[in-house]
């Protein structure tokens, strides 16, 4: 079953908004075996939307649209879809009741523009949008060759789209559309670190060229790791697992993790299993590592807190870093980062602590310590160690990579 | 001048990677007056890439591709483009020298797969990729009607793509392609907060319907603000500014900022102008606010540090929050958040401080304090105040919105 996503909105095409919806939808669709053929972003423009719909339905039988369902004048998706599917707008009593209920304590929202939200295309099936006023619409048409085609229209606001997918559209798909035979897609991903992509490819070359044609390998480098993804199309999961096993054996010395989970989740699982706690002392990463560690629910089981010591004054006053060492070696140095890690571990009373201090740029570099130099330390119940990295030349890249390195090294020490 | 972006890679279509490249490129193109018609994401599949190229060139004369230029087997873009433009691969001495130079200290990278990177399409113009081994390629063809068409192929790794755009492709575009007449596009964006989108649309309705047809208004709700963007196509910037002035007058009571800059940048500018410093004490936002405040270069001028007090122990021990208050009122309460703000302001010796404490969920909610409840406090040289918000039901949404609210309120207090 092939599908496509069309995201609609001028804001996407002038770069004011990053399309995070498509990747999230792609993951979910993939999980239920719906292959995503293409993602297309188009303007709030009728002719352009129609052309994108024609092209999408020429390749796929399920099309998802997001965006353009607001009550304001620039949003035209509902009107375009009504016309595309040869129907017209009628008032929906159910949608009206729902919207009145939704905004019962918000009389300021219940104005005449919001009232246009309960006008829906007569031929569309309307699913409930629990958290917003935009109607979730399902259209269907005969695509020729006795093939029924479907269009699902959703709001572009990410959390509304996610709730719509989880609660309405994915169940609808499973129940009404995917009940027949479907092609099984199996993905398996492992993460490695510490070897260049091209060298890895040489290590795997012989094995890779012997792979069955319906099992494919992809290399996905990201933030200091390379994810190796095996994808099996229409084969038994066991066959993919067999190849996975072969591959793991070939790359075991660089292995970071055997699941495709975010590094901070993997670390959290390890810490919970140890009933251990962690804290961070951050200079160059500036709180990013903290935010990663508490990003997911349940993180209070292992994460207690952090000190972002951006200025030297805070490193000294709060974390107890020796002022002489700060002067003599500079903030980006082994003694300072060791003291930061130990200082925060003591102050916050945790089992583990990570400290970072680096030159994120664009200024502040020197010949001895160019932009991208990051010292990192890990304090553990059995001692503290430090390491220096050179993580590139761009601010965001440096701090993101530093966070990843910090997690990778601690994860590797647990293996 | 119309353009399109084609992003190439299976990882985009199974949702393993969010396409952040397109939005960034869209912004840059917009700035130089190149309109972006469509963004398309396709698989590493020859037939699919060819179809996307045909469709893109039917609508636009400039096409950008990202991705699929690595040395490994799954990357096929270079081969597909060579065949699409009827040429073949030849060894490039210049690219070879560059790659040997680039990896002179990394003999492990200089293997036979990397050597395939200096094979380039004979008919393509090769631009220098300063930071990687993938060739930047420019193809051109006659698109009929005496119209020359161009394709720029770039790596998909975001920082390589950005450097390629900034240093090579944007200058190339300006110099060789855009030198003739171009349609002037003018965008003006202001931010408002504290009014529902539909009410705002009613406030602006009369004025909006009187807008000239080549000036359009878009509503872009995001994280508690609504950005109002006026776009003028082929009109003088002064005419857009005139309409902007009218619009600002209509929405002045909800105005947050008059520029389309990130809120943390606007706040940083204000603090620098005041020669004032800031710190944060974060519970539910967990370091996100810290990371926002030091995200941009130059933030050390106003940002000193933060305490992420995720556990009550840290709130008490490090920030000096009264233990009785923590017990009596709970961590998510006015007295606690006031003490957190004042505690971190004192500890880090700053002029301003922001504190957050909330229930980010999914667990921990109660009838009195449901998930989404966030208390926030702002300590300033003239006193401390606190406010309670209800910011939705999803963890990431709640913490992102809390960061935005924290910045919005402080910005509004500066107006």
3-state helix/strand/coil string of chain A: CEEEEEEECHHHHCCCCCCCHHHHHHHHHHHCCCEEEEEEEECCCHHHHHHHHHHHHHHCCEEEEECCCCCCCCCCHHHHHHHHCCCCEEECHHHHHHHHHHCCCCCCCCCHHHHHHHEEECCCEEECCCCCCCCEEEEEEECCCCCEEEEEEECCCHHHHHHHHHHHHHHHHHHHHCCCCCCCEEEEEEEECCCCHHHHHHHHHHHHHCCCCCEEEEEEEECCEEEEEEEEECCCHHHHHHHHHHHHHHCHHHEEECCCCCHHHHHHHHHHHHCCCEEEEECCCCCHHHHHHCCCCCHHHCEEEEEEECCHHHHHHCCCCCHHHHHHHCCCCHHHHHHHHHHHHHHHCCCEEEEEEECCCCCCCCCCCCCCEEEEEEEECCEEEEEEEECCCCHHHHHHHHHHHHHHHHHHHHC
pLDDT at B183 (0 to 100):
62
Q: Are residues B114 and B78 in the same domain?
A: yes
pLDDT at A105 (0 to 100):
79
Q: Nearest CA to A77 among A180, A2, A165, A6?
A: A6
Closest-CA distance, B289 to chain A, in angstroms, reads 8
Domain boundary among A123, A144, A177: A177
Average pLDDT over residues A325-334: 97
What digits encode the pLDDT tens for the residues B117-143?
999 999 999 999 988 889 999 999 988
pLDDT at B234 (0 to 100):
84
3-class SS string, A195-253: CCHHHHHHHHHHHHHCCCCCEEEEEEEECCEEEEEEEEECCCHHHHHHHHHHHHHHCHH
Q: Please, are residues A375 and A333 in contact by the beta-carbon 8 Å criterion? A: yes
User: Does the pLDDT at position A180 exceed 80?
Assistant: no
What digits encode the pLDDT tens for the residues B373-411?
999 999 999 999 999 999 988 898 899 999 999 999 999
Q: Which domain holds residue B142?
A: 2-177
What digits encode the pLDDT tens for the residues A185-202?
788 999 999 898 889 999
Looking at residue B96, which CATH number applies to its domain?
3.40.980.10
Interface test with A, best of B6, B29, B72 (most A CBs within 10 A): B72
CA closest to A223 among chain B residues: B157
Q: Are residues B43 and B91 in the same domain?
A: yes
Average pLDDT over residues A319-348: 98
pLDDT band at B48 (very low <50, low <70, confident <90, very high): very high
pLDDT at B415 (0 to 100):
77
Domain boundary among B157, B177, B197: B177
Q: Do A162 and B347 touch (CB under 8 A)?
A: no
Looking at residue B410, which CATH number applies to its domain?
3.90.950.20
Q: Do A304 and B288 touch (CB under 8 A)?
A: no
pLDDT at A266 (0 to 100):
94
Q: Are residues A173 and A43 in the same domain?
A: yes
User: Does the pLDDT at position B73 exceed 90?
Assistant: no
Average pLDDT over residues B67-90: 94
Q: Are residues A122 and A197 in the same domain?
A: no
Q: Are residues A211 and A273 in the same domain?
A: no
* B-chain residues near A310 (CB < 8 A): 294, 299-300, 303-306
Looking at residue A214, which CATH number applies to its domain?
3.30.70.2860
Q: Do A394 and B159 touch (CB under 8 A)?
A: yes
What pTM, to 2 d.p., does this model score? 0.75
Q: Are residues A269 and A362 in the same domain?
A: yes
Q: Are residues B282 and B367 in the same domain?
A: yes
Average pLDDT over residues A219-246: 89
Q: Are residues B274 and B406 in the same domain?
A: yes
Q: Are residues B207 and B171 in the same domain?
A: no
What digits encode the pLDDT tens for the residues A360-409?
999 999 999 999 999 999 999 999 999 999 998 889 889 999 999 999 99
Q: Are residues A268 and A379 in the same domain?
A: yes
Q: Do A217 and B73 touch (CB under 8 A)?
A: yes
| Domain count for chain B | 3
Give the integer Cα–Cα distance in Å for B56 and B37. 9
Domain boundary among A257, A283, A304: A257
Q: Are residues B145 and B9 in the same domain?
A: yes
Peptide bond into A349 cis (omega under 30): no
Angle at which helix A46-59 crosses helix A77-84, to 10 degrees, equals: 60
Q: Are residues B192 and B270 in the same domain?
A: no
């Amino acid at each position: 079953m092939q599908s496509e996503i069309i995201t609609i909105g001028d804001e996407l095409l002038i770069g004011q908004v990053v399309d995070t919806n498509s990747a999230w939808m792609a993951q979910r669709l993939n999980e239920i075996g719906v292959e995503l053929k293409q993602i297309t972003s188009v303007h709030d423009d009728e002719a352009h939307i129609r052309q994108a719909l024609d092209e999408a339905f020429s390749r796929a039988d399920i099309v998802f649209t997001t965006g353009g369902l607001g009550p304001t004048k620039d949003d035209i998706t509902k009107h375009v879809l009504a016309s595309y599917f040869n129907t017209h707008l009628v008032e929906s009593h159910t949608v009206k009741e729902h919207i009145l209920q939704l905004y019962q304590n918000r009389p300021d929202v219940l104005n005449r523009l919001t009232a246009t939200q309960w006008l829906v295309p007569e031929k569309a099936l309307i699913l409930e949008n629990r958290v917003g006023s935009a109607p979730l619409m399902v259209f269907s048409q005969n695509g020729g060759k006795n093939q029924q085609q479907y269009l699902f229209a959703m709001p572009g606001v990410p959390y509304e789209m996610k709730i719509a997918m989880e609660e309405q559209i994915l169940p609808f798909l499973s129940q009404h559309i995917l009940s027949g035979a479907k092609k099984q897609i199996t993905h398996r991903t492992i993460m490695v670190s510490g070897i260049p992509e091209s060298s890895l490819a040489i290590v795997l070359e012989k094995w890779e060229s012997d792979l069955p044609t319906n099992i494919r390998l992809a290399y996905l480098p990201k933030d200091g790791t390379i994810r190796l993804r095996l994808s099996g199309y229409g084969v038994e999961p066991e066959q993919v697992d067999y190849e996975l096993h072969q591959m793991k054996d070939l790359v075991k010395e660089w292995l970071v993790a055997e699941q495709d989970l975010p590094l901070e989740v993997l670390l959290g699982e390890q810490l919970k299993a140890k009933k251990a706690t962690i804290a961070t002392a951050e200079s160059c990463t500036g709180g990013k590592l903290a935010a990663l560690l508490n990003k997911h629910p349940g993180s209070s089981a292992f994460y207690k807190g952090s000190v972002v010591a951006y200025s030297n004054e805070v490193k000294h006053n709060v974390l107890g870093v020796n002022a002489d060492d700060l002067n003599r070696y500079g903030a980006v140095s082994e003694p300072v980062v060791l003291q930061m890690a130990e200082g925060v571990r003591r102050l916050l009373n945790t089992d583990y602590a990570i400290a970072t201090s680096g030159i994120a740029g664009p200024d502040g570099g020197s010949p001895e310590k160019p932009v991208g130099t990051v010292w990192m330390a890990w304090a553990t119940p059995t001692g503290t160690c430090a390491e220096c990295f050179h993580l590139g030349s761009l601010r965001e890249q440096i701090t993101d990579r530093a966070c990843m390195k910090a997690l990778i090294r601690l994860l590797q020490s647990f293996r």
